[in-house]
Amino acid sequence: MLREHCTVGMKVMFGRPNGDQTLGEIVKKNPTKAKVKILQSRGNGRGSEVGSVWTVPYSLMTPTGVAMLDEFNSRPPLALDGLMVKGTEDLPMSYNELMPHGDLCIMEAIVDTYNRLSPEWLTCDGELPRSQVMAKKGQLERRLKALFQALGRPVSESVAYQWDDERRKKEAV
């Protein structure tokens, strides 16, 4: 996240990509880091309680729509064709050849990234050492997160594969 995208009072998630993610609110912006008041407990020890202020680099923050999440979570789950879903990542996406070209490319990249996260591809059929597998997995997960931001919503693996199957069927016709 860039400093220019931050505002005082903005709700953010912060933490290392492979570590704890904590909900917080920006209380002050500085040139390289922001002061963030945590809105949920984080770990144990000094500074872990709600209301503590942490100094966080902008690169470790991601924006979050807490008001939208609270409103969404207060609603009952949706029933779609007998399937109960709660998060937007589970909502179906139908393939449409009139989709904006950018969204089409993003969905194709999401499907490709989920394919690359499969154990066989990730480990090169067990040939890679664990350290390289973990580095590769982290890189792919960051790519997936960026693609979700570009699309405007997360997409679950099953929804992405359903979208791809629908696309292949329509292209075969």
Query: What pLDDT sits at residue 92?
Result: 53
- Residue 99 pLDDT greater than 70, yes or no: no
Nearest to 39 by CA among 21, 57, 25: 25
pLDDT band at 89; cut points 50, 70, 90: low
Reading the block at residue 63, the tokens are 């924006």
Query: What pLDDT sits at residue 98?
Result: 47
Give the pTM: 0.47
What is the tens place of the pLDDT at every residue in 135-146? 999 999 999 888
pLDDT band at 47; cut points 50, 70, 90: confident
Query: What pLDDT sits at residue 132?
Result: 92
Distance CA 106, CA 66 (A): 25
- Residue 3 pLDDT greater than 50, yes or no: yes
Query: What pLDDT sits at residue 81?
Result: 43
Distance CA 78, CA 91 (A): 9
- Exposed, middle or buried: residue 54 (CB in 10 Å: 0-12, 13-18, 19+)? middle
- Residue 82 pLDDT greater than 70, yes or no: no
In total, the chain counts a number of residues equal to 173
Domains and CATH numbers, the chain: 3-66 (2.30.30.140), 78-172 (no CATH)
Mean pLDDT computed over every residue of the chain: 78
- Three-state SS sequence of the chain: CCHHHCCCCCEEEECCCCCCCEEEEEEEECCCEEEEEECCCCCCCCCCCCCCEEEEEHHHEEECCHHHHHHHHHCCCEEECCEEECCHHHCCCCCCCCCCHHHHHHHHHHHHHHHHCCHHHHHCCCCCCHHHHHHHHHHHHHHHHHHHHHHCCCCCHHHHHHHHHHHHHHHHC
Distance CA 40, CA 52 (A): 9
